A = this chain, B = another copy of it.
Amino acid sequence: MTALPDFTRIEAMDAADGLRSMRERFILPSGLIYLDGNSLGVASHAAFAELQKAATEEWGQNLIRSWNTAGWFDMPLALGDRVGRLIGAAAGQTVVCDTTSINIYKALHAAMALRPDRSVIVSEGGSFPTDIYMAEGVVSTRPGASLRLEGVDAPSIEDLIDGTVAVVLVNHVNYKSGELRDMAALTRKAHEHGALVIWDLCHTAGALPVDLDGANVDFAVGCTYKYLNGGPGAPAFIYAAERHHGDISQPLSGWWGHARPFAFEKHYAAGEGIRRFLCGTQPILSLRALKGALDIWDEVDMAALREKSLGLTDLFIALVEEKCAGHGLELESPRDRAKRGSQVSFSHPNAYEIMQALIARGVIGDFRAPSTLRFGFTPLYVRYADVWQAVVILEDILRTGAWQDARFAVRAAVT
């Protein structure tokens, strides 16, 4: 193993960082090392500027006329195309709307309608839970449908895929471990058995490049408030490959997905293409903050982003394992950088208290029950020096036993 860099070398890494200027676009609270962009990304000047304009000019002054004059009506598709570029989707296949949970529901129904002679959904026991819950919701509305879970019904998802499977719903990056699945290989495997695939990109979009079109993916969903920095609860996105567009049906058939939404017809008629995943009226203010955040992304080279991301996570793992050795931390994320998203997780029996102590010292990561310390590394605003500083503080907390402070022992409802 090569020797760890000293702090002078760390500063040189930041100085040489091609994404360095991006940090200025964001609003970083002073005194904070924010390693939780995989839960809620930070605000940006561009997001605030768009939000301000949407609120004061468009709502405040132009009111109802803004549906046309400010492009509110076309915004879900316009923003969808901009997210599309970041996930390898050619234009016209991605739309921004609703929540990830609801988009999972739409995608599952659409996929099952494309495989009417099949009844099985395959997903992951270790999925972010809402994916499973939504699959259970879909199963509840489709007589004969059932759900098979990796880690429950078989050890690996590949073992669950057979000729009865309509659709595989799977996370590209695991929310807890940060482990990356092979999108092209699993999609191919599903297609070989006649099944479709929905990729959940919540921890992918803005964290690393993917190529949905190139991997022949069927559907994808994801959120915009993590690595994309769209703002708390910003609307989610949904992708459908163009080859399916003519055959997509899904039961959340609201006015915005209608072929002629202003004709006030008495029956639903699905709009063209990806538009038919739209349903009801979207939260324009939240959408507009996201628009500002995406303005920044238009300038980002995704290969450079990935390189920086791996540089940050490689460094964090190496520093923690050297400086915090002997304190009981176990790496939960893949050591192989090719299999790692943009986060690093370590387990520790006292993970909760340690994370509380870190937060009290200005290092924001998060805790996932029962024993995971989770750290997200957003390449646009996290510096190598932040990684160094976070490890210095973590080592101090472990060495001094500061996490044993009684005030860190009370588990809050929300972590």
User: Which A residues fall within an 8 A CB radius of B?
Assistant: 27, 29, 32, 34, 36, 39-40, 42-43, 48, 51, 54-56, 58-68, 72-73, 98-102, 105, 109, 125, 129-130, 132-134, 136-138, 140-143, 149, 152, 223, 225, 231-236, 249-256, 258, 262-268, 279-287, 289, 359, 364, 366, 368-369, 412-415
In the complex, how many angstroms separate the beta carbon of A52 from the nearest chain B beta carbon? Answer: 8
- Closest residue to A415 on the B side, CB-wise? B262
The oligomer's copy count stands at 2
In the complex, how many angstroms separate the beta carbon of A403 from the nearest chain B beta carbon? Answer: 18
> Contact at B225–A281, with CB atoms within 8 Å?
yes
> Contact at B231–A285, with CB atoms within 8 Å?
yes
> Contact at A102–B249, with CB atoms within 8 Å?
no
> Contact at A136–B412, with CB atoms within 8 Å?
no
> Contact at B29–A105, with CB atoms within 8 Å?
no
> Contact at B414–A68, with CB atoms within 8 Å?
yes
> Contact at A258–B129, with CB atoms within 8 Å?
yes
> Contact at A141–B63, with CB atoms within 8 Å?
no
Q: Given A252-B102, A255-B101, A289 and B285 touching (CB < 8 A)?
A: yes
A-B contact pairs, 27 of them (CB 8 A): A29-B63, A43-B55, A43-B59, A48-B55, A48-B60, A65-B364, A72-B232, A98-B99, A99-B281, A99-B282, A100-B280, A101-B256, A101-B279, A101-B281, A102-B102, A102-B252, A105-B252, A129-B258, A129-B266, A132-B267, A132-B268, A140-B253, A232-B281, A232-B284, A233-B285, A262-B413, A284-B286
> Contact at B251–A137, with CB atoms within 8 Å?
yes
In the complex, what residues of B have CB within 8 A of residue A263's CB?
Answer: 369
In the complex, what residues of B have CB within 8 A of residue A265's CB?
Answer: 129
In the complex, what residues of B have CB within 8 A of residue A283's CB?
Answer: 231-235, 283, 285-287
In the complex, what residues of B have CB within 8 A of residue A412's CB?
Answer: 68
In the complex, what residues of B have CB within 8 A of residue A101's CB?
Answer: 252, 254-256, 279-281
> Contact at A284–B251, with CB atoms within 8 Å?
no
In the complex, how many angstroms separate the beta carbon of A415 from the nearest chain B beta carbon? Answer: 7
In the complex, how many angstroms separate the beta carbon of A199 from the nearest chain B beta carbon? Answer: 17
How far is it, in angstroms, between the C-alpha of A364 and the C-alpha of B415 when the chains are bound? 47
- Closest residue to A147 on the B side, CB-wise? B267
How far is it, in angstroms, between the C-alpha of A72 and the C-alpha of B255 when the chains are bound? 29
> Contact at A130–B285, with CB atoms within 8 Å?
no
> Contact at B366–A253, with CB atoms within 8 Å?
no
In the complex, what residues of B have CB within 8 A of residue A48's CB?
Answer: 55-56, 60
- Closest residue to A41 on the B side, CB-wise? B63
> Contact at A279–B102, with CB atoms within 8 Å?
yes
Q: A36-B63, A130-B280 are in contact. List 7 more A-B contacts (CB 8 A).
A: A68-B414, A72-B232, A98-B98, A136-B268, A140-B249, A149-B266, A283-B287
